[in-house]
Amino acid sequence: MKAHGTVHKYGDNIDTDVIIPARYLNTSNHAELASHCMEDIDKSFTSKVKKGDIMVGGANFGCGSSREHAPIAIKESGISVVIAETFARIFYRNAINIGLAILECPEASRKINDGDEVEVDFNTGEIYNHTSGEKYKAQPFPPFIQEIISKGGLLNSISQDGK
């Protein structure tokens, strides 16, 4: 499985309040949530994002509230993968549980620029920056988590386990 798209780059400590402000949490409608994604730090995000695009953040991406609305809004807006130096732990869990691809890669997080064209190979964890010609390598997931992802998220994996 591969992703290929244009990068939307943000900084450190991108919190779930800026990913999806709480004033919009009176709905769980995915499309409605996506229509407000990132608006408090990047008003143009929703108009410029294209299906398959890639989001890159710095350290502690997704910190703050446990709202699953945040990874849902990012996924629904068309983002194919989020690359960051590190993820806040609840966001990390939520992304895996709902099937939003994420990769931890400090080098990619530092070197990729906004607007770069980037390709990600999920099987190898390799990230290729078409704009700069650089290659980066992300940490692969532990097998336990790969299994959740391969079964299509947590609830799929539970129902397939017969629970």
Partner 1 sequence: MAMTMTQKILAAHAGLESVQKGQLIRAKLDMVLGNDITSPVAINEFNKFGFDKVFDKNKISLVMDHFVPNKDIKAAQQTKQCRAFAKTFGIKNYFDVGDMGIEHALLPEKGLVGPGDVVIGADSHTCTYGALGAFSTGVGSTDMAAGMATGEAWFKVPAAIKFNLFGKLPKFCSGKDVILYIIGKIGVDGALYKSMEFTGDGLASLSMDDRLCMANMAIEAGAKNGIFEVDDITLKFYKERMTHPYTVYSADPDADYDEVIDIDLSKIVPIVACPHLPENTKKASELGDIKIDQCVIGSCTNGRLSDMKIAADILKGKHIAPDVRCIIIPATQSIYLDCIRLGYAETFINAGCVVSTPTCGPCLGGYMGILAENEVAISTTNRNFVGRMGHVTSKIYLSSPATAAASALTGYITDPQASDM
- Provide the binding-site residues for partner 1, judged by CB under 8 A: 13, 15, 17-18, 21-23, 25-28, 40-41, 59-60, 63-69, 71-72, 86, 88-90, 93-94, 97-98, 142, 144-145, 153-156, 158-159, 163
Minimum CB separation of residue 111 from partner 1 in Å reads 20
Minimum CB separation of residue 104 from partner 1 in Å reads 11
DSSP 78-117: T--EEEES-B-HHHHHHHHHHT-EEEE-HHHHHH--TT-E
Closer by beta carbon to partner 1, 60 or else 77: 60
Closer by beta carbon to partner 1, 106 or else 128: 106
Q: Which of 8, 16, 14, 9 shows the shortest CA–CA distance to 70?
A: 16
- CA angle (70, 153, 32) in 5-degree steps: 30
Minimum CB separation of residue 113 from partner 1 in Å reads 22
